[in-house]
Amino acid sequence: MKITRVELFRYNIPLKAPVTIAIGTITEARNILVRIHTSDGLYGLGEGSPFWMIVGETQETCLATGADFARLLLGRSATDLEGTLAALDRYLPRHYTCKSAFDMALYDLAAKYAHMPLYRYLGGEKHPIVTDETIYIGTPEAMAEDAVAIRQRGAEAIKVKLGTSAQEDIRRVQAIREAIGPELPIRVDANQGWDYVSAVKVLRRIADWNVEYCEQPVKHWDLDNLARVRQNSPVPICADESLFTHIDALRLAKLEAVDYFNIKLSKSGGINNALKINAIAEAAGVPCMIGCMSESRLAITANAHLASARANIRFYDLDAPFEHAHDPVLGGATYHDHYRLELPDTPGHGADLDEGYLAGLEKVVIEK
């Protein structure tokens, strides 16, 4: 099964409203879509979400890089996952979001070729996946209103974006807790917005408000202070922007810098690296969460397959489509009771896009 043709699509999805975190704001999801065709007539689909302020990539860089990757893959075996993905790494370091789209498409193809749903191809079975829902940065009053609406929809956990001033962040969490009562867990995410002193101050103040963990309290490169925060925080700490690949996972595990790892396919380079991250995490006794950038339900489906296949992935933050103004995806994982993800049993990851929709997208075709 040789790779004969690769299509790269400019995959833009408008948001219902701007999304603000500590390091920036986006108004639409400017993603890329990769479709890899083979000599057997099968194709695989992958999506990358280049959240530029985190990964250092944009849609433009991904399209340019993707064209080079596509030329490199033509004529190769589509089922040689290790060899093909290693070739991309040898050709160009990093560029993880672009690589993740190719990785996802190749895993989709491999599972289709094996006539297996992706979770089974990865060696797992279905188990319940219930996502949280995110509240983005705003006034304490507005965030509290959002929290009430999320509780009324039946969420099992709320994720709260923080990372501006310490005092204002404390007020945000306090307002949310007072509005929703004591029982619903809160997961906070500072997106690198604090320094060591602010992080410890906030986390000690909010610890009694049923805060399950805090993601990335300090800068991604500041591993020493990340470890210090963990040592002095009553709230467990989760690595996000400090964790891209398995190499980062090993470094964080050696430093005992965090309690949890946040795996995101668009950040890790795809499923192949994510499996390595999880293996290191298991060996180190570090549970994982599966997270997202601003992917459509296509990439969310692939993320959910991975989560279902690995018991060490225990927390789920797969709510990006909630912010999208429309859902162009056919098949794939579906949301039930708003938060419970149900995986398909079709071969591959099971998500696709209508040809009519794709015809309206700008694309680049690479073929022999």
Instruction: Average the pLDDT over 57-79 and give the result.
Output: 97
Q: What is the DSSP string of 211-275?
A: EEEEE--S-TT-HHHHHHHHHH-SS-EEESTT-SSHHHHHHHHHHT--SEEEE-HHHHTSHHHHH
Q: Is the pLDDT of residue 23 over 90?
A: no
What is the SS3 string spanning 262-282?
A: EECHHHHCCHHHHHHHHHHHH
pTM for this structure? 0.96
pLDDT digits (tens, 9 = 90+) for 130-151: 999 999 999 999 999 999 999 9
pLDDT at residue 53, rounded to an integer? 84
pLDDT digits (tens, 9 = 90+) for 305-347: 999 999 999 999 999 999 999 999 999 999 999 999 999 999 9
pLDDT digits (tens, 9 = 90+) for 105-131: 999 999 999 999 999 999 999 999 999
pLDDT at residue 87, rounded to an integer? 96
pLDDT at residue 10, rounded to an integer? 98
**215 marked as part of a ligand binding site:** yes
Give the tokens for residue 24. 């920036």
Q: How confident is the model at residue 52 (pLDDT cuts 50, 70, 90)?
A: confident
Closest CA to 299 of 277, 280, 284, 318: 318
Instruction: Average the pLDDT over 68-93 and give the result.
Output: 96
pLDDT at residue 352, rounded to an integer? 98
Q: Is the pLDDT of residue 152 over 90?
A: yes
Q: How confident is the model at residue 22 (pLDDT cuts 50, 70, 90)?
A: confident
Catalytic residues: 161, 264
pLDDT digits (tens, 9 = 90+) for 258-304: 999 999 999 999 999 999 999 999 999 999 999 999 999 999 999 99
The rounded mean pLDDT for the chain is 97
CA–chain centroid gap for 174, Å, is 27
Domains (ranges, CATH) in the chain?
3-115+355-367 (3.30.390.10), 120-351 (3.20.20.120)
Q: Is the pLDDT of residue 362 over 90?
A: yes
CB 353 within 8 A of CB 31: no
**189 marked as part of a ligand binding site:** yes
